[in-house]
Amino acid sequence: PTNRYVATNLYGEHKFGMGNLMVWGMRVKEGDIYQPWYINMVQALHNRVVELPHASPENFIDLASQKIKYMGVTESGDLQFKRLIPVEGIDTTDPQRAQEQLDYLRRGLESNPAMGPMLLHFEDENGKKCDFLAHEGCTTKATFIIGDYTDEVKPEYLSWVREVRQIVDEFEAEYGDRVEFMTAGEPYFLAYMLLDLVNKWWLFTISIAIVILVLWFEFRSWRGATFPLLGVGATIVMTLGLMGYTEFKLTTMMVLTPMLLLAIGIGHSVQVTRRFLLEHGQSGDCMLASREAIRHTIIPATLSIVTDMVGFATLATVDISFYKDYAYFGVFGMLTLLLTTTTLIPLLLTVFPPTQESCKTMESHGWETTVGGFLTRLISGPGKWLPIGVAVLVFAGSAYYTNLMNWEGKPEDAIKLSQENDYMPGVEKGINYARAAFKGSSPTWKDLVQLNEIMPGVISVSIPIRGREPNTRGCIDTYFPDAIYDIEDRTQKVQMCNKYKEELGCWDTDACGAQGVFNSVELHTDLEKMENWMRAHEFIGYTGSYTQYVRLVNMLLTAEPGEPTKLSDLRVPNREYLLSLDPNDDRSPTEIVRMYNGLLEAMTSAGDMDSFVNTETWNEGVVLGFINTMDPVETHKVA
């Protein structure tokens, strides 16, 4: 893709996943979530949604997933990473053992400031949301399953969303009296729109019936009521046929194409049909009527349809795949529309000609004469200034409120104009897509709103991080001199490592440490600052990254064995932090980060960290954020 935002998004999705996120929220109606039946229900739902087609199980985030573990320290001060709940679930036969397992789960979740805020929802006695870091006296009322699915789910939206709904319906039938279920997510949102359209096929039938009634009112004959539809129908069939031939899947955007072709094509079809009937009423010659109908309508029809084709073609310049596809098929449909309506309708009327007498009444209807006379008098008299005045007011108001070319001189709009070529910076760009797609009474919309209220946010944003310099291959036969091991001055050691890297064209990890920007304390310090800013933003509910794990390990290992951890130690171990604890601390922050990386790599399972960092190169990762608003004005404040 040429658009940098689209390219960045694709890079993040293909490297780390988390691009097609689903969220299942489960709010318990009575008590808290730490009940055996509830936890086992969450685990059962996790197991079902992980088995859905095109799932990425290693990227799932929930209390039953492999990557979310109890992170603590043993009495001897060693790190301890264990599953939050047993594979077989919470014990339902031994209450004492079950309580021990639930207490362990509670400690594992509520003592994890890195992932806990994403998985737990607290409420006070009045039902108001409590902050994760200040939830004393609050009840844990809900938890969430955040699932990730690959792009392969998109061609199978309909079957996939039906399976999702079936799973949720089964759990609602069994637990609905005790648990409130909420479902949302980009795949679900888009797929449900398509499913909703398919389920409402009768709307298309009603629109066809309305068109037939209008055509009958206009022409008062079966030919006039059906032939224009046949002309447009031929175009729709050919366009859908091209989609089938190219194996293009019908998406929510492409469903609009037949309706648009119907709306535009009927207008041209009516003109051709009416002109034929008028000419036939005068001459009685079908061939002459066909020739005159085509001659009078071909130029205005061509100009009209070509402008529509140009409008579709401009959409192809947008670097968004479904816009491009919509544009290409729209252009094809418009081109065939010109051919089918102009040729097929006169041909049908020639093969099945009406009588000359029936066509003599086609000159005009009474309401047409009345409206035409009124408009003629309006534009030929003093009243012509009324539409002109309205047009001037509309143009003036538009120029004023859109701040056309930043005539107001606003600094923030000047940036939009210069950097984004935004010639109308006063217009707020964006739309609340969910509200535009679904009615306020729709369960899909209600679930989305409620999840957005109890979760840190349901709109995700990913910020990929990649080292500018690629890693150098590891040394195999010739290694760096042993003298490097004896260099104590860190600056000098870095210089020597870089020197031999240039000379030998390889990197000696034993002598100079692991490569990759995620092995440097500077990167984690900067990411910590960025995430602290993001988490403090009013419209950002949560961020997750590998740096959060580094901070968590630092907090765990800084505490003395047997002593509680301190949130003040939830920090990247940079020079400033180390000296604040001990002014004489001369340890290398980068070496500490590399040690933490090694511990995390050793203590976690394969794939646990892959959604945040590439543990093969340590040179690329991602920051995942969740926006807690769907209002376009507010989301733009985040950007």
Closest among 509, 444, 556 to 112, alpha carbons compared:
556
Residue indicated by tokens 């293909």: 14
The amino acid that residue 318 corresponds to is: V
Helix (H, G, I), strand (E, B) or coil at 22: strand
Q: With beta carbons less than 8 A apart as the criterion, state whether 95 and 180 touch.
A: no
Task: Give the Cα separation of 425 and 402 in Å (integer).
Answer: 6
Cα–Cα dist 2/5, whole Å: 9
Residues 337-346: b if buried by 16+ CB within 10 A, e if exposed: bbebbbebbb
In terms of Cβ atoms closer than 10 Å to its own Cβ (0-12, 13-18, 19+), residue 141 is buried
Cβ–Cβ < 8 Å for 621, 612: yes
What is the 8-class DSSP label of residue 114?
Answer: T
Q: Are 188 and 165 in contact (CB under 8 A)?
A: no
**Nearest to 403, CA basis, from 380, 384, 428, 420:** 428
Q: Report which residue type is found at 32.
A: D
So what's the pLDDT on residue 1? 59
- What DSSP state is assigned to residue 143? E
Report how far residue 1's alpha carbon sits from residue 607's, in angstroms, rounded to the nearest whole number: 28
Whole-angstrom Cα distance, residue 31 to residue 43? 19
Q: How far apart are CA 577 and CA 596, in angstroms?
A: 16
Query: Which residue positions in the chain have pLDDT lower than 50?
Result: none
* CA dist., res. 222 & res. 217, Å (int): 11
pLDDT value of residue 479? 92
Alpha carbons 100 and 34: distance in angstroms, whole number: 11
54: left (phi over 0), alpha (psi -120 to 50) or beta: left
Q: Which two tokens stand for residue 470?
A: 């690629």
Q: Are 47 and 64 in contact (CB under 8 A)?
A: yes
The single-letter DSSP state of residue 427 is: S
Q: Sign of the C-alpha dihedral, residues 35, 39, 40, 42?
A: positive
pLDDT at res. 517:
94
Q: How many residues does the chain have?
A: 639
Q: How far from each other are the two terminal CA atoms of the chain, in whole angstroms?
A: 21
- How far apart (Å, rounded) are the C-alpha atoms in residues 58 and 50? 10
Which residues is 325 bridged to in the sheet?
none
SS (H, E, C) 211-241: HHHHHHHHHCCHHHHHHHHHHHHHHHHHHHH
All domains of the chain in start order, with CATH: 4-197 (no CATH), 201-380 (1.20.1640.10), 464-638 (no CATH)
* Distance set, CA 105 to CA 73, 116, 286 (Å): 15, 11, 84
